[in-house]
Structure 1
């Protein structure tokens, strides 16, 4: 999962892009990058690390220009090198940079075609670089010295025909503007907004989540539709066109469960309201299964589950308490690249307040259970703090299947609920009682005001992959590749990972520092 942003403004965009990336930091903590252009020159800074660590004053001063894009990346197995930090760049045609959120399911096939047929070289293992080169090749095939909106939309149309999987994309074309588009199923999110700039000229922002718009003073216009492309010229002129033949809106439901900020609106659905409903419906299930429950207190596992836990406590008529204090300087354990690192970081990340646990029957609430490592440690922490009984509720159904659309859970063997019953999972994490959300109930929680939503991408829960191109052989190859890259990563030293380094702070036209 990643965060993307692009801005066309009437003044320098470097600070606005930085601020937007900090708001989107929850979508990726592994690497960050910003690229701007001015006078037909690109200015790029990207590296491993948090936004605040990658960009210092000297970097920001060099990111000049009124148009730019940014990216925050989260780690996948074997991602020690900063070479895969985005945005990516190709010089032909025109000079194009691209930031991508999602995953291409036919990246291997495309990479081979790009080399053998399109005569393009791919320099990393990132499918985002593949997508960039597909877009660049399709635009170059049109052979226009000055591309118009029609040529740009035609290139996006060809991308949809060649690429499969999930993608929210923002690309910047030197001297012309930025283009944003979503995959034909709308799996990954993207929206755009406006605000009035200098001299009354309209400024535009495209971002993964609406919260990035509101934080910068932009007004949300709407979500980019599945398969649609939005092109904004440097003078602020906006065009949009549907570029897919048969688009359907199937957003990733896990965005609402875990990834998105609660103050975001995604495809017309309030993330906060959806999570309130998750807690309410989950409480109803508790009352059905144990009408005479002995729960004394409901305690959330910070932060994502807080909204659901609060509503669950209200519905159950029991106390809601904050039982864990979170260390804000430790990253999200789910997206850490190694099992040992995830396990080690749990007790660094959370510390229990003994008063809220001692002698009580405690219902812990989390947004989901993926690998189970964190949950097991937290249950034990509750027992160590003196809880009489420790119950556990997941606001999401059991995660039993790999994700192939851009979330780092591709190996079924890593998922604690895969091929296990609820009782077996509860025993493994050490809880006295485990309750999961039902999938139909989860879907009802997010089916809000948008009648245009055709369905939800729920493959991690159901095993049904909306793109129709995923089979057992694909998942086996993915798991084997993950194992290989994890092994390789243990012996890799990233010489470019120092975020004080200026190695990636380059003007792509080689201006002097």
Structure 2
């Protein structure tokens, strides 16, 4: 499996009781901080470029800090930021450290609100200044804002123009920072509206401050800002006065789940993470609906509110295939179903010769789909056995033994051996090192007799197949190698949080272009470019994904065959075939996650369609 980067993971914790409550019941006032650590650590797969956390203390006195943040870069960022937090406590006495009242009044990060983020960059921008949470500071507590998110917006330019048109001057051009300034401006306006209201009612000084903090409603801010966001997102935030929120895009592209009881409210990007950390059942964890926000006010009262009317649900199917943890009950079933659905195509590829076929998988994320594939093959074999038994009038002992001995042959053929540091090498040296990312189990096949079927969760660029997997598997001397993808052909870029943006990176696109050239249909390449170019110059009307035209002349099987041809290394002795899931099989397996734009080209938002046409334009202009 080629590693795909995807943005990102979020975690939010809101304690609903005083710190001394948790100290008395659970033995530590750090209960909330520790829960945040676990929520982040169990989502470390969602971001390994950096991590950050923010904390808000509710009962700080004037002149004392009440909002804290820690950030770090690299794969060890979670450990680094929590080590930095705990270093704040190393010089205090055990008695003080175990005193929740002392902690609440004197110690940093001893608060009731926590926000955590794990980052994968999909925009090419990196560095500590791009690590979430972002902070917007102000002398008014209610105007302080900490923000993080799992998102990608397709229309950052439009939002930038909107906030600059009202006089703002953002210091950075990044989607998170621009969103921070946009929301910060609307938060300012909301606070100022309340200020004028309470001033008219005769309140003065701190009485106005307290009234504002007790009645501010962040749903007003979200309803003003969110209609301008084109993309997939889960945005989380805290204010300095103690408000917390999380809002999900109206298409439900990016995931969010929450749990609440009378002690705590938590939110995370994945359901089983909350189940494990809070030790609760599946039904106790709720999914944040598309267009919905989870809101917690300063008093600790929580509610959900519809911020935007939900659109046609387009929850990201790649979350189910690959990104999210397979320990989720539904995801586990769905991944098994993806493998099961492919059995008919696999049997056809090996000419139904199961006696001479070995089944395996590419470690490690395809393992669950592999189990589903085996179940399907076993069902086929059981059907065959019943057929032979029912059709025979009388069976000898040897014949019966032969029928009952029919079984699926399984082996762990491929082993991911080491993470090679190929970045230090160049050219042929790099390719040679890459060829050894996987090792094989020698003796697991009968040379020159057996077919080998290996399942992977996706084939996007095909680099690992070409440079490593096919070549190393061929050393076992199989008669045929059938590489199975539990997901369909990835044909289009993603603009809602996955690191797939350039057309030439997709092996399916490269195969279609080669087929067009081979069959004398090059004119379609430039005709598509012209249509895409003309559309980009229009500011109104329905947008069309013209890149679909590149694939239209060919069947899925024709493109798969060309992909196999491109990815088979020179000198490979075995025949190589690639079998892909079809989109119908994907939807049957993941019925509640119909977001398939990277497979189908059907983008849920106008911004996605505009950007895929631009990606094609960039490809052609880069080739000319």
The TM-score normalised by the length of structure 1 is 0.82
| Bigger strand fraction | 1
Alignment of 1:131-150 (within 5 A): 131-142=179-190, 143=192, 144=194, 146-147=212-213
**1:148–1:235 CA distance, 2 compared to 1 (3 A):** closer
2:492 to 382, 385, 401: 401
1:479 Cα deviation after fit: 8.3
What do the CA deviations read for 1:40-64 (whole angstroms, capped 9, x no partner)? 5222111211245533523334443
Q: Distance in 1 between matches of 2:273 and 2:349?
A: 41
**1:347–1:14 CA distance, 2 compared to 1 (3 A):** farther
CA contact (8 A) 1:28 1:74 kept: yes
**1:477–1:230 CA distance, 2 compared to 1 (3 A):** same
The aligned counterpart of 1:509 is none
Q: CA RMSD, aligned part only? A: 3.1
Q: Which runs of 4+ in 1 moved over 6 A?
A: 328-331, 338-345
1:412 to 490, 495, 503: 503
**1:344–1:152 CA distance, 2 compared to 1 (3 A):** farther
Gap regions ≥5 residues in structure 2:
1-6, 20-28, 89-108, 195-208, 379-407, 512-558, 569-574
The aligned counterpart of 1:260 is 324
SS of equivalent residue, structure 1 residue 186: coil
1:249 Cα deviation after fit: 2.4
Alignment of 1:46-125 (within 5 A): 46-50=71-75, 51-55=77-81, 57-62=83-88, 63-76=109-122, 78-92=124-138, 94-123=143-172, 125=173
Q: Distance in 1 between matches of 2:245 and 2:8?
A: 18
Work out whether 1:372 is the aligned partner of 2:462: yes
CA contact (8 A) 1:37 1:67 kept: yes
What do the CA deviations read for 1:447-498 (whole angstroms, capped 9, x no partner)? 1xxxxx5x611110011101133345664269859x99xxxxxxxxxxxxxx
SS of equivalent residue, structure 1 residue 309: helix
Q: Distance in 2 between matches of 1:347 and 1:382?
A: 11
- Determine which structure has greater relative contact order: mean sequence separation of CA pairs < 8 Å that are 6+ residues apart, divided by chain length: 1
1:437 Cα deviation after fit: 0.3
Alignment of 1:225-264 (within 5 A): 225-233=289-297, 235-264=299-328
CA contact (8 A) 1:205 1:218 kept: no
Q: Distance in 1 between matches of 2:346 and 2:70?
A: 50
What do the CA deviations read for 1:305-343 (whole angstroms, capped 9, x no partner)? 100112212322423332233358789x9xx9x999997
Alignment of 1:293-372 (within 5 A): 293=353, 296-317=357-378, 318-326=408-416, 349-357=437-445, 359=447, 360-372=450-462
| Bigger helix fraction | 2
Q: Distance in 2 between matches of 1:339 and 1:8?
A: 50
CA contact (8 A) 1:99 1:128 kept: yes
1:438 to 582, 587, 590: 582
The TM-score normalised by the length of structure 2 is 0.68
**1:235–1:216 CA distance, 2 compared to 1 (3 A):** farther
**1:149–1:353 CA distance, 2 compared to 1 (3 A):** farther
Q: Distance in 2 between matches of 1:357 and 1:43?
A: 58
**1:463–1:428 CA distance, 2 compared to 1 (3 A):** same
Pick the structure with greater CA Rg: 2
1:2 Cα deviation after fit: 0.5
Larger deviation: 354-363 or 206-215?
Answer: 354-363
Q: Distance in 1 between matches of 2:135 and 2:430?
A: 33
SS of equivalent residue, structure 1 residue 370: coil
Q: Distance in 1 between matches of 2:357 and 2:10?
A: 42
Q: Distance in 2 between matches of 1:342 and 1:226?
A: 45
The aligned counterpart of 1:501 is none
SS of equivalent residue, structure 1 residue 68: strand
1:28 Cα deviation after fit: 1.3
The aligned counterpart of 1:43 is 68
1:128 to 160, 172, 176: 176
What do the CA deviations read for 1:250-281 (whole angstroms, capped 9, x no partner)? 2011111111111126xxxx111000100100
CA contact (8 A) 1:2 1:72 kept: yes
Q: Distance in 2 between matches of 1:87 and 1:342?
A: 37
What do the CA deviations read for 1:376-414 (whole angstroms, capped 9, x no partner)? 221112113444432100001100001011100011111
What do the CA deviations read for 1:101-155 (whole angstroms, capped 9, x no partner)? 12111112112322232514142x4312222222222222222352567631111
1:5 Cα deviation after fit: 0.5
Q: Give the total of aligned pairs.
A: 463
